[in-house]
Copies of this chain bind each other. A is one copy, B any other.
């Protein structure tokens, strides 16, 4: 959104009622016909603005898109999300964030897309990303930690999303599925994809991509039984700007604590309480083969602690976690 449209929107929101075209044109130093053009542009972006002759303009409803103007009123952060780069369509927000990070963009910048043409999850799997309904965004971080700690940020982001869901959509009971998904029952609601560029002693930057199925009402056939959305679970539409801001607010708190600690110890009680897999039998599928066992916890380094049948406990750093059916 351009600067003038953004200012007009800001004035309309502050006024709460009607604002004359004359007042707007004077306060922004533009002509009344320029005001009219920008009102038209805002309407095309989804803002419902009434125009009543003799009274002026009134903002009836926001566009509901996760743009800076609608997200920032909810933000309580110091730096996360203060620079928010919104696009109608990106190939993938992680890809664009990586390019931005390479040019030196500051820590905490967030790239958001209304739709993705090539959205993806871990290991190059695709992530269904239609426009107008969901959240797809990527955070750019520059933590001064060795690369070996970076995978912990996946769990940290999952915890932040879970906290935001508890506050914005409290009627839904979601759970964190190690290492990077938020589930309702056994259906996926949200995925986290953490990427980094690093050398052994130094992390150049980290990109945390997050996709949340918010208001999508229908999935392609092949996903119907394994994916869900906040709308499908709660029966109501959820505000994308408010939810995005809430995730960023919770993430900043967790991230600042994490930088002060050596590991995930401070957030383990939370990760255990809301874990989908804790104390359950799982199969860990890795490129080298499967490992079966019972999850006995998450280690301070973020690894899954797995009790094997032969009484050994192993730490699992990566892989897919498949749940074994629970006995009835």
Chain A residues near B (Cβ < 8 Å): 98, 122-124, 144, 146-148, 151, 154, 179, 193-202, 204, 287, 317-319
Contact = CB atoms under 8 A, between A and B. Distances in A.
A148 B315 CA distance: 14
Contacts of A179: 200
B197 A193 contact: no
Contacts of A196: 147, 197-199
A170 B226 CA distance: 62
Contact of A199 (B194, B200, B201): B194
Contact of A154 (B147, B198, B200, B287): B200
A318 B146 CA distance: 8
A124 to B, nearest CB: 8
A210 B318 CA distance: 30
B148 A200 contact: no
A144 to B, nearest CB: 7
A78 B204 CA distance: 32
Contacts of A195: 197-199, 204
A147 B147 contact: yes
A197 B195 CA distance: 7
A193 B204 CA distance: 13
B148 A201 contact: no
Contacts of A287: 144, 201
Given A123-B199, A124-B202, 17 more contacts: A122-B201, A123-B202, A146-B317, A146-B318, A147-B147, A147-B151, A147-B196, A148-B148, A148-B317, A179-B200, A194-B200, A196-B197, A196-B199, A197-B197, A201-B287, A201-B318, A201-B319
19 contacts: A98-B197, A122-B199, A122-B201, A122-B202, A123-B201, A123-B202, A124-B202, A144-B287, A146-B317, A146-B318, A147-B196, A151-B200, A179-B200, A194-B199, A195-B204, A196-B197, A196-B199, A200-B317, A201-B318
A59 to B, nearest CB: 42
A122 B146 CA distance: 13
A318 B318 CA distance: 21
A148 B144 CA distance: 18
A122 B204 CA distance: 12
Nearest to A209: B199
A301 to B, nearest CB: 11
Nearest to A287: B144
A121 to B, nearest CB: 10
Contacts of A193: 199
Contacts of A319: 201
Contacts of A146: 317-318
Nearest to A146: B318
A148 to B, nearest CB: 6
A216 B317 CA distance: 45
